[in-house]
Chain A
Amino acid sequence: MRLQNAFAVDAPPDRTWAVLLDVPRVARALPGATIEPDDRDGAWRGAMRLRIGPVTTEYAGTARLEDADDDERVASFRVQGRELRGQGTAAATITSRLTPEGAGTRVEVATELHVTGRQAQLGRTLMQDVAGSLLDEFATRLERELRGEAPEESDAPPPGADDALDLGAVVCGPLLERVAIALAGMVVGLLLGRVVWRR
């Protein structure tokens, strides 16, 4: 499944590019994510905790930077993960492209997401919408990070902390339960993949 999203940040492309390829800084912008400080065999192990209303789903997996084009500022990440309490798995290739926009940068994100397990039955439109909202949240945090306003924590919050991604505000009503299942598969691809790994 192909998802396309875009957002803008208020920082020049060169600096945004440097941050995009800097793991700890991008991790700080990811709510609900935890990452081990060191890579293992070139991949960074992480976990993602999602809470939607009463439903919490936890994912564990790896992410790696697959290729980077300094000339055109395009980077691809490969993310894979499995549900901790379930049989679902997911894999995603996330390609980010930076272009100048005014004094800032436009970030286009194209995600090729593949899931197995029950999460595989979800609507593309739903995923697209939720992905959009999640990236908006991420963009806001990333922008703060780029401006140097983010809190100076070296570790992302540990699993079990309250800083799980809370999507109660994102969707509501009868969609809520469907989204709970949808996100299990989808977000591991999107959000784990937003974390970039230092070479």
Chain B
Amino acid sequence: MKPAPFRYAAPRSVDEALGLLGEDAKVLAGGQSLVPVMNFRLARPELLVDVNGLGELAHLRRTGGVLRIGALTRQATLERSALVARHWPLLRQAVRHVGHPQIRSRGTVGGSVAHADPAAELPVALSALDARFRVRSAARGVRTLTADALFVTHLTTALEPDELLVEIAVPPLPGGARTAFAEHARTHGDFALAGCAVVVAPGHAAVALLGAGPVPRRVREAERALVAGATARQAAELAAAHVPPGHRRALMGALVRSALREAGAP
């Protein structure tokens, strides 16, 4: 199938892009989620705002210990980055599960976040890392959201039609932290049925679930238990309780247990 006709704009600055956004416009970044939907004609935006020319959004930079991921950073760039591998290994562990290399060549970190697919890996990993999401609009300037505030439901974020996600800020991991990402999909690169991103450190733990609802879910009780000395098995049970009983709960429990063990939980 081919997409329906649309107007196309390729702004050269963020300000120019913001001026174009509105109800009838869709942002085109990597296009790996949007274009299939357009090809099926399930989405027929009136105006496509191609943000790929906004070099100012393509940075991947560590400053003062904080990782600033420009929204336009390609998933492949995140995967290749020695900086990310060294200081935020969870992101590399997660991004390797995103689609296939050809998808990751074009797909962007910002796009994955803004698309908010419940089976997406990066939102879950960023949630586990307490990332902050910076969005901009022409009318209201910059606002910063937590993952809980940003991810509303299936394929829906708190982004207004005139807002553009510009940057994701990830704080440094605590000293001695180990991380792991696990997911189960029917084939490599397929949409995940269940998954998790975990961080285990002295005095700190993060457990974020993929597939336990329409948005990434942090399991606070499992995190508190881990800090108090719970085993991987115990914490995994607490996490899996968020999934309806049966096959999916067993699957989630196994994934969380395995990830926590990999991250050094007892």
Interface residues of A (CB under 8 A from B): 39-42, 64-72, 74, 76, 78, 93, 95, 197-199
Give every chain A residue within 8 A of B72 (Cβ-Cβ). Answer: 42
Cα–Cα, bound, A95→B77 (Å): 14
Q: Which among A39, A70, A197 has the greatest number of chain B C-beta atoms within 10 A?
A: A70
Chain A: CB-nearest residue to B61: A68
Chain B interface residues (CB < 8 Å from chain A)? 52-53, 55-56, 58-65, 70, 72, 77, 80-84
Give Cα A66–Cα B82 distance, bound, in whole angstroms: 10
**Known A68-B62, A71-B64: A93·B55 in contact at CB below 8 Å:** no
Contacting B52 at CB < 8 Å: which of A41, A70, A198?
A41
CB pair B77–A70 under 8 Å, yes or no, is no
**Once the chains are docked, how many angstroms separate the CA of A64 from the CA of B58?**
10
A-B contact count (CB 8 A): 57
Residues of A within 8 A of B70 (CB): 199
- Contact A68 to B60, CB < 8 A, known contacts A41-B53, A76-B81: yes
Query: With a CB–CB cut-off of 8 A, which chain B residues contact A71?
Result: 62-65
Q: Tell me whether B80 and A199 are in contact (CB under 8 A).
A: no
In the bound complex, residues from chain A placing their C-beta under 8 Å from that of B82 are 67, 74, 76, 95
Q: Is the CB of B55 within 8 A of A70?
A: no
A199-B81 contact in complex given A68-B61, A70-B63, A71-B62, C-beta closer than 8 Å: no
- Residue of A42, A95, A198 most packed against chain B (CB within 10 A): A42
Contact among A41, A78, A199 with B56 in the assembled complex (CB-CB below 8 Å): A199
Q: Closest 4 A-B residue pairs measured CB to CB?
A: A42-B58, A67-B60, A70-B63, A67-B83
CB-based contact B56/A74 at 8 Å: no
The distance from the CB of A14 to the nearest CB of chain B, in whole angstroms, is 14
Cβ-neighbour of B80 out of A40, A41, A93 (below 8 A): A93
